Amino acid sequence: MYRSHTCGELNASHIGKKVTLAGWVQKIRNKGFMIWVDVRDRYGVTQLIFDEERSARELMEKAGNLAREFVIQIEGEVIERESKNPNMPTGDIEVLVQELQILNPSITPPFTIEDATDGGEDLRMKFRYLDIRRNPVKNKLVFRHKVAMQVRNYLSQKGFIEVETPYLIKSTPEGARDFVVPSRMNEGQFYALPQSPQTFKQLLMVGGMDKYFQIVKCFRDEDLRADRQPEFTQIDCEMAFVEQEDILNIFEGLTRHLLKEIKGMEVEKFPRMTYAEAMQKYGNDKPDIRFGMEFADLNEVAQNKGFRVFDEQELVVGIAVPGAASFTRKEIDKLIEWVKRPQIGANGLVWAKYNEDGTLKSSVDKFYSEENLKEWADKTGAKAGDLILVMAGDAEKTRTQLSALRMYLGNELGLRKADEFAPLWVLDFPLLEWDEETKRYHAMHHPFTSPKKEDIPLLETNPGEVRANAYDLVLNGNEIGGGSIRIHDKETQSKMFDFLGFTHEEAKEQFGFLMDAFQYGAPPHGGIAFGFDRLVAILGGQESIRDFIAFPKNNAGRDVMIDAPAKLDEQQLDELHLKLKL
């Protein structure tokens, strides 16, 4: 037994006890006649004391030679601390050391293993195993485990079966790029790593598994953007004999369970919003509804008042920024500069202050009376003290720009509170999206997503308006889950394939075994998949997923700790029947 207690559990009730602890040296305070050492493990930190008057000389010497991150084991007596530390669970006591063993020395670590470290991102990634010793990282991994356990407990209790689907599957030309795996035994052939277990979960439904889930790694060989990982984790779920409402209920239940068990929060029934409504009110299909600032169409009240900039545009749209009437000219100019950045691409921003004294003042006073501005305030819901911001242009583009500004302001004004959780269902996504390149419609989700029954006739006349039985679960402005009810009948399916321009042969080539399977009695089914990395990060009150992943890759898809990917030797390539072509 290396230890009788962990470094996090001793308190006043242990005073007088003999204990054995093991852990890492966190901090040393050496006054010569007295040496204090903080020893750390996963569970906490305990203060050790070596005292000239009470400790043997060899022991004092040994303690004097300790350095940060040495692994030690000590035996000693728990004593009351003179100056207690109420911020530490073990702060009432210290351990008077009687024996000290150095289990392993350490060279000086490249950064300090403290909550606030001096190590930069790159260094911490290279020495990730040291970074994990730090509370901020370690706690996130422990947190992730807890969320995963709660997910499994909830779903299992609801009758879901976790089924492991294969990782070595077949490459499909659809969607993002696959990572592939050359087969040595099947010369010239490749497996692919799954982008998601979509096909397999549908096959499990055909197989009568009824309720399936899996917390599973997925792989996508995309050019990486910030905060994307080539391998990521998904909570993948599918149910048979269900309609959309059944799915929404179960997974609203899951999310509510997590918020309760993990965050101690009781949440009301989740609000629901159609895709069309989300786009209109927030310019965004994953709106953060923690702060108002809903869009107001101002065409009616802002056009035809002589201000040509507005008159010519498809849409004039505004938001009320709470309490921002006090913004200085400089602050407002900064906002204008911000929306003009190429990433946003707006032409400008019109503003109107609804002052605390009830007066209204705008950047376009020449064209609009206070009475006019009052109409803007009514539409945007601005109250005294608020700032109204208005943009104009093509409807879709302008809404997107105003959405970006809204989110920017939400962050700047501290309205996106990490400890507040506002889930939201976004429903009725479009079934199809127009692709400018190929000049045709593509399935927005995938070709097995079912259209709303009442919209099927629109396929012939207004395909872009056909709504799908597809839904997203949005949390604090992030899409954390998305799914759909699948097509399970042949007639609708072949109508879809026809519409998407697949010949029977092409459909068979790409979705062959799933279509084959569907001939043998496919039940009505649907599902959802949650981005687990993102879900955990958001529940943890963070924007970045990276620290919730034990060993993440950088933006070039490299693991800088182990230095992967790397070259293979010739022999390995030969065995795989491959040659490099550089």
First to last CA, the chain: 55
Q: How many CB atoms lie within 10 A of CB 186?
A: 10
CB of 115 to a copy of itself, least distance (A): 14
Query: Smallest distance from the beta carbon of 484 to a copy of itself, in angstroms?
Result: 17
From the list 42, 54, 272, 290, which residue makes contact with a copy of itself (rule: CB under 8 A)? 42
User: Which residues between 275 and 294 bind a copy of itself (CB under 8 A)?
Assistant: none
Query: Which residue in this structure is represented by tokens 């947190």?
Result: 143
**Residue closer to a copy of itself (CB basis): 167 or 338:** 167
- Residues tagged in the binding site annotation: 174, 220-222, 229, 445, 479, 486, 531-534
Contact between 7 and 43 (Cβ < 8 Å)? yes
- Contact with a copy of itself (CB under 8 A) among 32, 188, 264, 342: 188
Q: How far is the CB of 285 from a copy of itself (least distance, A)?
A: 28
Q: State yes or no: cis peptide before 565, omega within 30 of 0.
A: yes
Among 61, 99, 122, 223, binds a copy of itself (CB under 8 A): 223
* Euclidean distance between CA atoms 512 and 514, whole angstroms: 5
Sheet of 470-475: strands edge to edge? Answer: 161-162, 211-219, 231-240, 525-531, 478-485, 470-475, 423-427, 272-274
Shorter beta-carbon distance to a copy of itself: residue 109 or 381:
109
Determine if 31 is a binding residue for a copy of itself (CB under 8 A): no
Q: Give the binding range for a copy of itself (CB under 8 A) out of 400-408, 415-423, 477-485, 563-571.
A: 563-571
Binding to a copy of itself by residue 125, rule CB under 8 A? no
Residue 452 identity: K
Binding residues among 329-348 for a copy of itself as defined by CB under 8 A: none
Q: Does residue number 565 form part of the binding site for a copy of itself (CB under 8 A)?
A: yes
What would the two tokens of residue 19 be? 């204990």
**Pick from 183, 280, 363, 510: which binds a copy of itself (CB under 8 A)?**
183
Q: Closest Cα partner for 391 from 316, 466, 456, 444?
A: 316
Cβ-in-10-Å burial (0-12, 13-18, 19+) of 349 comes to buried
Strand partners, 29: 36
Name the residue with tokens 């159609």.
274
List the one residue from 243, 300, 356, 498 that touches a copy of itself (CB under 8 A): 243
Among residues 9, 52, 114, 221, the one that binds a copy of itself under rule CB under 8 A: 221
Q: Which pair of tokens denotes residue 454?
A: 């009442």
Question: Parallel, antiparallel, or unpaired for β 44-51 and 93-104?
Answer: parallel
- Residues between 62 and 81 with contacts to a copy of itself, criterion CB under 8 A: 69-71
**In whole angstroms, how close is the CB of 94 to a copy of itself at the nearest point?**
21
The yes or no reply on residue 181 touching a copy of itself (CB under 8 A) is yes
* Interacting residue with a copy of itself among 31, 366, 439, 581 (CB under 8 A): 581
Contacts with a copy of itself in 91-110 (CB under 8 A)?
103-107, 109
d(CA 227, CA 221) in angstroms, rounded, equals 14
Nearer to a copy of itself, 177 or 305 (CB): 177
Using the minimum distance from each CB to a copy of itself, give the nearer residue, 13 or 101.
101
Name which of 31 and 567 has its Cβ closer to a copy of itself: 567
Least CB distance to a copy of itself at residue 144 (A): 8
- From 210-218, 322-330, 402-410, 430-438, span contacting a copy of itself (CB under 8 A): 210-218
Please report whether residue 111 would count as binding a copy of itself according to CB under 8 A. no
Gap between the Cα atoms of 283 and 287, Å rounded: 8
Of 475, 484, 386, the C-alpha closest to 428 is 484
Instruction: Please tell me whether residue 1 binds a copy of itself under the rule CB under 8 A.
Output: yes
Segment 477 to 506, residues that bind a copy of itself, using CB under 8 A: 488-490
Name the pairing type of β-strands 440-443 and 432-435.
antiparallel
Q: Give me the phi and psi of 488, to 5 degrees please.
A: -125, -5
Q: Who contacts 420 (Cβ-Cβ below 8 Å, separation ≥6)?
A: 290, 476
- Using rule CB under 8 A, residue 176 touches a copy of itself: no
d(CA 351, CA 34): 66
Q: Which stretch binds a copy of itself (CB under 8 A): 51-59, 205-213, 324-332, 407-415?
A: 205-213
- Among residues 5, 38, 39, 41, the one that binds a copy of itself under rule CB under 8 A: 41
* Helix (H/G/I), strand (E/B), else coil: 361: strand
* 233 belongs to the binding site for a copy of itself (CB under 8 A): yes
Binding status of residue 12 toward a copy of itself by CB under 8 A:
no
The two structure tokens encoding residue 397 = 């583009």
In the block, which residue shows the tokens 């705008």? 362
Dist CA 470 CA 527 (whole Å): 10
Residue 112 C-beta: closest distance to a copy of itself, Å: 12
Name the residue nearer to a copy of itself (CB basis): 173 or 414.
173
> Can residue 187 be called a binding residue for a copy of itself (CB under 8 A)?
yes
Site for a copy of itself in 145-164 (CB under 8 A): 145, 148-149, 152, 156, 161-164
How many CB atoms within 10 Å of residue 225? 7
- Please give the size of the binding site for a copy of itself, defined by CB under 8 A: 124
DSSP letter (8 states) at residue 160: -
Q: Map residue 49 onto helix, strand or coil.
A: strand
**Amino acid occupying residue 499:** F
Determine how many CB atoms are found less than 10 A away from the CB of residue 282: 25
Q: Give me the least distance between CB of 515 and a copy of itself, in Å please.
A: 12
| Window 364-393: residues binding a copy of itself (CB under 8 A) | none
Q: Which stretch binds a copy of itself (CB under 8 A): 191-199, 288-296, 374-382, 471-479?
A: 191-199
Identify the DSSP state of 179: P
CA nearest to 383, candidates 409, 354, 360 = 354
Task: Give CA–CA dist 552/124, Å, rounded.
Answer: 11
Binding positions for ATP are 220-222, 229, 479, 531-534
Which one of residues 522, 535, 538, 539 is an interface residue with a copy of itself (CB under 8 A)? Answer: 522
CA within 13 Å, CB half, 396 = 2
165 sits near a copy of itself (criterion: CB under 8 A): yes
Select 210 or 261, whichever has its Cβ closest to a copy of itself.
210
Rg of the chain taking only CA atoms, in angstroms: 30
Among the residue ranges 280-288, 303-311, 351-359, 547-555, the one whose residues contact a copy of itself (CB under 8 A): 547-555
**Residue with Cβ nearer a copy of itself (101 or 304):** 101
